[in-house]
Structure 1
Amino acid sequence: MSVQRIQTNDRLSGATIFSDLIFLSGQVPTDRTQDVAGQTAQVLEKIDALLAEAGSDRAHLLSAQIWLKDIEKDFAAMNDAWSRWLPAGCAPARATVEARLASADVRVEIMVTAVRKPA
């Protein structure tokens, strides 16, 4: 079996697909002037687009890793945006941790694994 790569460059791919498994790279917001709720909404939109390109959607998530710049300050707002985005009954396995992110103005980064939608 081969590995399919989506939105790839020399450093990383936006997503890789092997069989029916889809692995997204960590997604960060484009407009980093927004608060964590706005940044989370942007990241979730990017995840939706990559999942669609890979033949899946948010109802088919298997796992998620979420990194927050300040978990004490930002967890509730991020979690609210996340909960509104997820379809009922489709919560993946998830971990959320605080981390120093690649840029000081990034408040959230999210990486997910999903399965393709059945044909």
Structure 2
Amino acid sequence: MTPPDHTKAMTAATRVDVQVVQLAPPVLVRRAIAHYNAHLAPGKRPAETTSSEAFLKRLCVNWLRHIGSNYDAHRNGVRSSGGQQLSDIAGTVIKKRVLVEIARAYPWLVEEARRQYLDLDRPNRR
């Protein structure tokens, strides 16, 4: 039998309203670069508009997930309702839903959103 907290958290993870901000590509790239550089670890190379396209797309998808959507708020809400394993499972459900919405809203980011989505199902992911 499934514990009530587990059912509640998984139901919430599949039903929360997932929204992604709509920005013009140049604005999104600028914001993603600025955010990445503001949180840059010592010794890491800053992002620039001349950075590789794949790298910039990764930064954009990450920015949309953490800043341009309600992903973190939903994930943190689910975390407060159960243990670590439950949090990880429900968090993955929410993350996948946000990545699907990013791919829908930003066709030029489909490949990166898909890569991150598929990476969630790989064993030993970080």
- TM-score class normalised by the smaller sequence: 0.3 to 0.5
Higher strand residue share: 1
Higher relative contact order (CA 8 A, sep 6+): 1
Higher helix residue share: 2
TM-score, length-scaled by structure 1: 0.34
TM-score, length-scaled by structure 2: 0.32
